[in-house]
Amino acid sequence: MGDNFQNKTMASVMMDYDFKVKTQNERSKVEDLFDFEGCKVGRGTYGHVYKARRKDGSDTKDYALKQIEGTGLSMSACREIALLRELKHPNVINLIRVFLSHNDRKVWLLFDYAEHDLWHIIKFHRAAKANKKSVMVPKGMVKSLLYQILDGIHYLHSNWVLHRDLWWSLSDIWAIGCIFAELLTSEPIFHCRQEDIKTSNPYHHDQLDRIFNDVFAGCPIPYPKREFLTDDDQDDK
């Protein structure tokens, strides 16, 4: 019985391996379909983004090819991919295809390509204003950008999806107001001296101070009830 069990186990392992090799050979490889080497255009939330074109010349479109960093996928990346496969709207980025590479366990996402994004528009006008060469964002462009953002967010909210990662930046409706103000003035509504426009890091101590001082100024915030305070908290009071 032991020999039979061992033989069946070995056969099962061989079948699994053969099936894996067969499916791997049949699976399309991103490097066989697209030219993208040396065409890195930036970074996304989860990895590097490349500008890509089809090798067979079947179309002349540019695509954005995102390589997920590391091996495998985080739960948040899985959720985002699952949502993007379901969501279809002109103002929500279109996920065209997902490529899996079992050799190096890499994941590639194929998107429509956009030449510019909102951050580059804001950064350009910020830099111009800082150099005393202020060029205001045209009102027609502000109106168009705001409409597209609101239309996309309305679609997401209608499908019970919260974006929570709007650049530039924070959570949905609040973020849209911040974006609108910055498009009109070419500077953040809570400007901080520490900010370096060459980076995309949105967290700055000085900026947080401005937010707390400006937003919560004059707002009476009741002190926590005694039963929720520790001894240390009581001493600090």
Positions marked active-site: 165
C-beta separation of 189 from 128 below 8 A = no
SS3 at position 170 = strand
DSSP 8-state secondary structure symbol assigned to residue 39: -
Q: Show binding-site residues for ATP.
A: 66
Structure tokens at 66: 């995102």
Question: Packing angle between helix 118-130 and helix 139-158, nearest 10 degrees?
Answer: 150
Q: Report the binding-site residues.
A: 66
Reading the block at residue 134, the tokens are 């202020």
CB 166 within 8 A of CB 236: no
How big is the chain, counted in residues? Answer: 237
Q: Give the burial class of 142: count Cβ atoms within 10 A of its Cβ; 0-12 exposed, 13-18 middle, 19 or more buried.
A: middle
Give yes or no for a cis peptide into 168 (omega within 30° of 0): yes
